[in-house]
């Protein structure tokens, strides 16, 4: 067992374990914090896959942005009067069976597929990918890049729009 494998299994464990906590925890705040570790573990796996830029981006956006947003959502929507911080489950039995079969099928696909790639990880010189990604973003992928920027803009405007309408609604009780 070399160092790479040790690190891999560590991050794999962190990821899977924290994801399990996210999913099975009754307390939504626990789930949210556990999600932080999942993201962290995934970022570690990214590093193991020589995707340093992606790992940093993962931390920045998921942990710094999305997770914070989710926490805001939790806090804004939790009915503080009823202290209903727990979140129940439903459909448990069909969901469990479905997910079990799904996981089995996915595993089957992974095992049986003959990917057009090498099964082994070749040796690579240690180098950063940010330069290549930067190049690709402004050359071959410039169109999706620009489209993505437009989508982000629309998302921002849309979110702001809905937030504003919400404000208007609260001032106008007759629409309820």
Burial class (CB in 10 A: 0-12, 13-18, 19+), 14: middle
Options 10, 65, 138, 146; binder of another protein; rule CB under 8 A = 65
Residue 42 binds another protein, judged by CB under 8 A = yes
Could you tell me the maximum CA-CA distance found in the chain, to the nearest angstrom?
Answer: 68
165 near another protein (CB under 8 A): yes
Least Å distance, CB 65 to another protein, is 6
**Interface residues for another protein in 67-126 (CB under 8 A)?**
69-70, 72-74, 76-77, 79, 87-92, 94-96, 98-99, 101-103, 105-112, 115-122, 124
Considering beta carbons, is residue 119 or 174 the nearer one to another protein?
Answer: 119
Q: Does 166 bind another protein (CB under 8 A)?
A: yes
List Cβ neighbours of 44 (8 Å cut-off, separation of 6 or more): 7, 10, 11, 14, 15, 55
Is 14 a residue that touches another protein (CB under 8 A)?
no
CA 84 to chain centre: 25
Binding flag, residue 136, another protein (CB under 8 A): yes
User: Cβ(4)–Cβ(65) under 8 Å?
Assistant: no
Other C-beta atoms closer than 10 Å to the C-beta of 107 total 10
Q: Is 31 in the site for another protein (CB under 8 A)?
A: yes
Among residues 35, 41, 8, 5, the alpha carbon closest in space to that of 20 is found at 35
Q: Is 168 in the site for another protein (CB under 8 A)?
A: no
Candidates 33, 56, 63, 141: give the one binding another protein (CB under 8 A).
Answer: 141
Sole binder of another protein in the list 10, 138, 146, 152 (CB under 8 A): 152
CB of 170 to another protein, least distance (A): 7
The answer to whether residue 40 forms part of the interface with another protein (CB under 8 A) is: no
- C-alpha dihedral over 4, 116, 134, 150, to 10 degrees? -120
């Amino acid at each position: 067992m070399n160092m790479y494998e040790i690190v891999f299994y560590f991050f794999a464990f962190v990821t899977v374990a924290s994801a399990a906590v996210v999913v099975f925890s009754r307390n939504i705040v626990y789930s949210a914090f556990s999600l932080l570790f999942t993201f962290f573990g995934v970022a570690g796996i990214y590093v193991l896959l020589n995707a340093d830029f992606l790992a940093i981006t993962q931390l920045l956006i998921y942990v710094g942005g999305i997770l914070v947003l989710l926490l805001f959502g939790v806090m804004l929507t939790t009915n503080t009067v009823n202290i209903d911080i727990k979140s129940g489950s439903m459909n448990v039995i069909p969901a469990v069976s479905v997910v079990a079969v799904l996981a089995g099928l996915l595993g089957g696909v992974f095992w049986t597929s003959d990917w057009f790639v090498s099964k082994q990880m070749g040796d690579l010189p240690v180098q950063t990918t940010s330069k290549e990604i930067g190049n690709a973003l402004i050359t071959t992928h410039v169109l999706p890049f620009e489209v993505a920027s437009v989508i982000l803009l629309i998302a921002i405007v849309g979110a702001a729009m809905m937030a504003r309408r919400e404000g208007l609604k609260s001032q106008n009780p007759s629409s309820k």
